[in-house]
């Protein structure tokens, strides 16, 4: 049985002060909503303030990126060891990192492996562009991207995959729950091919791309979709908490 995950990617938004306020508000609004792993991923400089604000709550902290080397001359970068005191998760291979900062599958694979080896849970993002979807090759593309981004990976119990079609990110046009389910199932098949059926059954597969409280429900009802990676709506505590609530289901009396 996989525990659903709702993760908020705050991207390059908030300051340490506003991030702590947002985190506190999410924790207050989602306290008592059980059976969902809740994660917020602030910018690196906000992580200490968010960690302090979330002390004693069940909301976990993630980073948005990490370097694969443990230390060294990598100006501006952050290592796994720096994050483990502060965070439990880290997003790797987000499409914005891939398209704007030149990240490759090989580099993403190194980050995922380093994160897991250091005790962080990687949230590995994959997804096709609109051009690729139009060619009808989305599944082939995503499977290859997944396989290459998992080269050398072995910590299947700590892995989370996020399927984020590039055309759905920040566009207000989410994929249909059916498209997301078909891809989530293909992702699980590919993991089964790489690591076996038991591993594939344990890895949560999230959908990301214009998720909001109005459209979240039908994604969560699909058998292979285990939660969401939320961008814009995660900056609004009420909207993010509503998505957590929808995923948790009705509160028992």
Annotated catalytic residues are 94, 164
Stretch that binds ligand 13P, among 29-37, 150-158, 192-200, 203-211 (CB under 6 A): 203-211
Site for ligand 13P contains 145 (CB under 6 A): no
Least separation, in Å, of the C-beta of 88 and ligand 13P?
A: 17
Q: Strand (E) positions, 12-51? A: 37-41
Token digits for 212?
């909001």
Stretch that binds ligand 13P, among 45-53, 144-152, 229-237, 240-248 (CB under 6 A): 229-237
Angle at 29 between CA 23 and CA 35, to 5 degrees: 100
Site for ligand 13P contains 42 (CB under 6 A): no
Whole-angstrom Cα distance, residue 196 to residue 167? 31
Stretch that binds ligand 13P, among 14-22, 137-145, 151-159, 230-238 (CB under 6 A): 230-238
Site for ligand 13P contains 164 (CB under 6 A): yes
Least separation, in Å, of the C-beta of 239 and ligand 13P?
A: 10
Q: Residue 135 burial (CB < 10 Å; 0-12/13-18/19+)?
A: exposed
Token digits for 156?
């299947």
Contacting ligand 13P (CB under 6 A), which of 132, 169, 183, 220? 169
How many separate helices (H) and strands (E) can be counted in the chain? 11, 8
Q: Which is nearer to ligand 13P, 32 or 170 (CB)?
A: 170
Q: Which is nearer to ligand 13P, 36 or 166 (CB)?
A: 166
Q: Is the Cβ–Cβ distance between 197 and 177 less than 8 Å?
A: no
DSSP 4: P
Least separation, in Å, of the C-beta of 228 and ligand 13P?
A: 8
Whole-angstrom Cα distance, residue 181 to residue 205? 10
- Residues near ligand 13P (CB under 6 A) are 9, 94, 164, 169-170, 208-211, 229-233
């Amino acid at each position: 049985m996989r525990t659903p995950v709702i993760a908020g990617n705050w991207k390059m938004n908030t300051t340490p002060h506003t991030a702590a306020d947002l985190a506190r508000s999410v924790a207050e609004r989602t306290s008592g909503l059980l059976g969902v792993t809740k994660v917020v991923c602030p910018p690196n400089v906000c992580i200490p303030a968010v960690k302090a604000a979330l002390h004693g709550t069940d909301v976990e902290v993630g980073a948005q990126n990490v370097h694969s080397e443990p230390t060294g001359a990598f100006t501006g970068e952050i290592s796994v060891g720096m994050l483990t005191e502060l965070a439990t998760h880290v997003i790797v291979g987000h499409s914005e990192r891939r398209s704007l900062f030149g990240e490759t599958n090989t580099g993403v694979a190194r980050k995922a492996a380093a994160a897991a080896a250091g005790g962080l849970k990687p949230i590995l993002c994959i997804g096709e562009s609109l051009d690729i979807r139009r060619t009808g090759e989305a599944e082939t593309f995503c499977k290859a991207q997944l396989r290459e981004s998992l080269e050398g990976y072995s910590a299947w119990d700590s892995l989370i995959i996020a399927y984020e079609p590039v055309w759905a990110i920040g566009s207000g046009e989410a994929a249909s729950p059916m498209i997301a389910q078909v891809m989530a199932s293909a992702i699980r098949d590919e993991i089964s091919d790489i690591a076996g059926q038991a591993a594939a059954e344990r890895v949560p597969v999230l959908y990301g791309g214009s998720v909001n409280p109005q459209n979240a429900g039908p994604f969560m009802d699909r058998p292979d979709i285990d939660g969401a990676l939320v961008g814009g709506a995660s900056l609004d505590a009420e909207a993010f908490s509503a998505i957590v609530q929808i995923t948790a289901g009705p509160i028992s009396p």
